[in-house]
Chains A and B, each alone.
Chain A
Amino acid sequence: MKKIYFDYAATTPVDTRVIKTMRPFFKEKFGNTMSIHKFGQEAKIALEKGRKTVADLINAKPNDIIFTGSATESNNFALKGIALARRNLGEGGFAGHIIISQIEHPCIIETANWLEKQGFKITRIPVNKYGLVSPLDIKKAIRKDTILVSIIHASNEIGTIQPIEKIGKICKNKDIYFHTDAVQSFGKIPIDIDKMNIDLLTASSHKIYGPKGAACLFIKEGVKIEPILHGGGQEMGLRGSTINVPAIVGFARACEITKKEMRKEGQKIAKLRDKLIKNILKIKDSYLTGPPCGEAGHPENRLSNNASFYFSFIEGESLVLQLDLQGIAASTGSACSSIKLEPSHILLAIGLKPQEAHGSLRISLGRWTTEKEIDYFIKVLPKIVKKLREISPYA
């Protein structure tokens, strides 16, 4: 049985080099970073070294990196932390206005929904058919009481890369904090927080071949933010919790590796991805979602590892399970596969009808994707689509 992993946007295996770096921190170097003895100090030194490595990847200062347990936590921290610190800037001395896009990850959307219930005002900026936010729309949406703009850097579903440098500039000129959820882009494309005018940035370890359980929020020096986890004063008093040293050491090692390899790896993956897209679009009634790529497209607008489609007349969960039965792991934004039984909000935001989103398929490639795997997929998928269409009343 083949085992082909095409779901790198969901999570990645941990790189062997990362595991090797982490290993001593479970048993020999297990100390608590808050302890003054040798065990603790050894762990503390490793933590601070890791902080510098992560910071280096985005041209940040080490002390502006706050480690967290997950990207969800980082995004909650960014929105709630800024909201609490700046709420008195709103009209009437309470609450304020936050701008997000319609294609954020659920942890931003749900946090914004919750803040709305607490009295904050939320604007959700629409996107065009490729999933792009217009910086002009952001500019127009900014009000006197706007306290934060939070726009996802690259879409987890359709791979769209937002013009965050322009958005950051607008925010900077208006003196408004700008946060970006960079979970999918961090470690895959270069990020420079100064050049891109970013005040806060979320990144995660397990999307870049590091372990789960480590993530960070970059908070630019001077940004006013309240902690969400109060406790023993860890992370400059901004995030209480015993430091998960092995995971952070692994996260840092993953950053170190990707810093060296990202350019070459991105090019290799993009080539494989373009071959895949070209061949899959030969299937009748199949459509690419997200920005066009390849020679005729705008590769700079799309993550190199993302290929997303929809197929008329069939449903995504069935498609994913049929692929799984053939040894291929992929994912879908179909309503049937969601806990809420609703189609992906991202696919609806780019203008897909619910029945179109129903047949969606996301392929995300990674470090160990081979051309042989792409060739196998190109061979297998048309047969699966055909089989499911034989069962469907519409085909």
Chain B
Amino acid sequence: MPNGTYSKKVIEHFQKPHNYGKMKNPDGVGKVGNPICGDVMHLYIKVEKDKKGREIIKDIRYETFGCVAAISTSSVVTDLAKGKTLQQALKIDSNKVVKSLGGLPEIKYHCSLLAVDALKKAINDYLSKKT
């Protein structure tokens, strides 16, 4: 059933969101809220070292109170970040998120920023705890 507002990919993520739910003892937490429309996202990461000794995002989870775009951007940003090194994950930007979703309505772009901010905040939370 086609939707005139959201892409097929957005609907797929919305219908079967990946990586949602709370995480026990996360290494980093990013909590962000969108003052514009009131959506809220909590993102949790677990960090481990890979064989080469680089720090990677071993596991990632989120909880989102928000619209279709907020839920699907949360889902896709966790897909994009999972298994990546912290440096690679920090490079994920909202363009990348929008592109991975096959586009978003312009009015919903801020949702993709929300997801990216939550990820950055979680990584920075981990880094700040480490030092």
Please report A residues at the B interface, Cβ cutoff 8 Å: 1, 313-318, 321, 324-325, 334-337, 339, 341, 343, 354-355, 358, 390-394
- Name B64's contact: one of A339, A343, A354, A392 (CB within 8 Å): A392
* Closest CB in chain A relative to B74 CB, distance in Å: 8
Number of B residues near A (Cβ < 8 Å) is 26
CB distance A336 to B14 under 8 Å?
no
Knowing that A321-B14, A336-B68 are A-B contacts, what are 9 other residue pairs whose CB atoms are under 8 Å apart, sorted by A's residue number? A315-B67, A318-B70, A318-B71, A324-B1, A336-B39, A336-B70, A358-B38, A390-B21, A392-B63
The 6 residue pairs across chains A and B that have the minimum distance between CB atoms: A336-B67, A393-B63, A317-B67, A335-B37, A393-B42, A341-B37
17 A-B pairs within 8 Å (CB atoms) are namely A315-B70, A317-B67, A318-B14, A318-B67, A318-B71, A321-B11, A324-B3, A336-B37, A336-B39, A336-B67, A336-B68, A341-B36, A341-B107, A343-B38, A358-B38, A390-B21, A392-B65
CB distance A355 to B38 under 8 Å?
yes
Q: Which of B34-49 contact A (CB under 8 A)?
A: 36-42
Give the residues in chain A near B15, CB-CB below 8 Å. Answer: 325
Give the residues in chain A near B69, CB-CB below 8 Å. Answer: 336
Counting chain B CB atoms within 10 Å of each CB, which of A315, A337, A354 scores highest?
Answer: A315
CB distance A315 to B1 under 8 Å?
no
CB distance A394 to B65 under 8 Å?
yes
B103 at the interface (CB under 8 A from A): no
Give the residues in chain B near A394, CB-CB below 8 Å. Answer: 40, 65
CB distance A337 to B67 under 8 Å?
yes
Cα of A336 to Cα of B66 in the assembled complex, Å: 8
- Name A354's contact: one of B14, B38, B67 (CB within 8 Å): B38
Give the residues in chain A near B40, CB-CB below 8 Å. Answer: 393-394
- Chain B, residues 49-69, CB within 8 Å of chain A (1/0): the string is 000000000000001111111
Cα of A372 to Cα of B66 in the assembled complex, Å: 31
Cα of A394 to Cα of B31 in the assembled complex, Å: 12
- Chain B, residues 5-45, CB within 8 Å of chain A (1/0): the string is 01000010011010011000000000000001111111000
- Name B17's contact: one of A313, A335, A391 (CB within 8 Å): A391
Cα of A39 to Cα of B71 in the assembled complex, Å: 57
* Closest CB in chain B relative to A334 CB, distance in Å: 7
Please report B residues at the A interface, Cβ cutoff 8 Å: 1, 3, 6, 11, 14-15, 17, 20-21, 36-42, 63-71, 107
Counting chain A CB atoms within 10 Å of each CB, which of B37, B42, B70 scores highest?
Answer: B37
Cα of A316 to Cα of B70 in the assembled complex, Å: 12
* Closest CB in chain A relative to B66 CB, distance in Å: 5
CB-CB nearest in chain B for A316:
B67
Counting chain B CB atoms within 10 Å of each CB, which of A317, A390, A391 scores highest?
Answer: A391
Give the residues in chain A near B20, CB-CB below 8 Å. Answer: 390-391
Give the residues in chain A near B71, CB-CB below 8 Å. Answer: 318, 391
Cα of A393 to Cα of B70 in the assembled complex, Å: 13
* Closest CB in chain A relative to B4 CB, distance in Å: 12
Counting chain B CB atoms within 10 Å of each CB, which of A335, A336, A358 scores highest?
Answer: A336
* Closest CB in chain B relative to A191 CB, distance in Å: 36
CB distance B68 to A317 under 8 Å?
yes
Cα of A341 to Cα of B63 in the assembled complex, Å: 21
* Closest CB in chain A relative to B101 CB, distance in Å: 15
CB distance A313 to B21 under 8 Å?
no
Cα of A81 to Cα of B41 in the assembled complex, Å: 48
CB distance A391 to B67 under 8 Å?
no
CB distance A315 to B65 under 8 Å?
yes
Cα of A341 to Cα of B20 in the assembled complex, Å: 25
* Closest CB in chain B relative to A387 CB, distance in Å: 9
Cα of A211 to Cα of B12 in the assembled complex, Å: 35
CB distance B66 to A318 under 8 Å?
yes
* Closest CB in chain B relative to A313 CB, distance in Å: 6
CB distance B66 to A315 under 8 Å?
yes
